[in-house]
Amino acid sequence: LAKTTQPISMDSYEGQEVNITCSHNNIATNDYITWYQQFPSQGPRFIIQGYKTKVTNEVASLFIPADRKSSTLSLPRVSLSDTAVYYCLGGGGDKIIFGKGTRLHILP
């Protein structure tokens, strides 16, 4: 089971690019890396998932180095509405581990 480590909190300003890095040293060979976003009093929401190299969708990019022991979520040109907690998960299956996540605070 891959436990993850992320920064507890980050601050950034509107319009900037934000990168949040997660380490998952013992991720299983077949497991993907998934990032979720959570607003207060809501359930987490899927952002992006990848296995290796780079994945991009309409809201974010995910960079995964060749050794897959870490990943970086990149949010381009953040806005105030991106203030939330971001979780990375290294795997899933029949036992899913969320860490404490990264509390991202966007300033005007």
Partner 1 sequence: ETGVTQSPTHLIKTRGQQVTLRCSSQSGHNTVSWYQQALGQGPQFIFQYYREEENGRGNFPPRFSGLQFPNYSSELNVNALELDDSALYLCASSLREGPTPTLHFGNGTRLTVT
Residues within window 33-52 making contact with partner 1, judged by CB under 8 A? 33-34, 36, 41-46, 49
Q: Is residue 108 a contact point for partner 1 (CB under 8 A)? A: no
74, 66, 80, 81: which is closest to 17 by C-alpha? Answer: 74
Using CB under 8 A, pick the residue from 62, 78, 91, 104 that binds partner 1. 91
40, 54, 41, 46: which is closest to 89 by C-alpha? Answer: 46
Binding site for partner 1 (CB under 8 A): 28, 30-34, 36, 41-46, 49, 85, 87, 89, 91-101
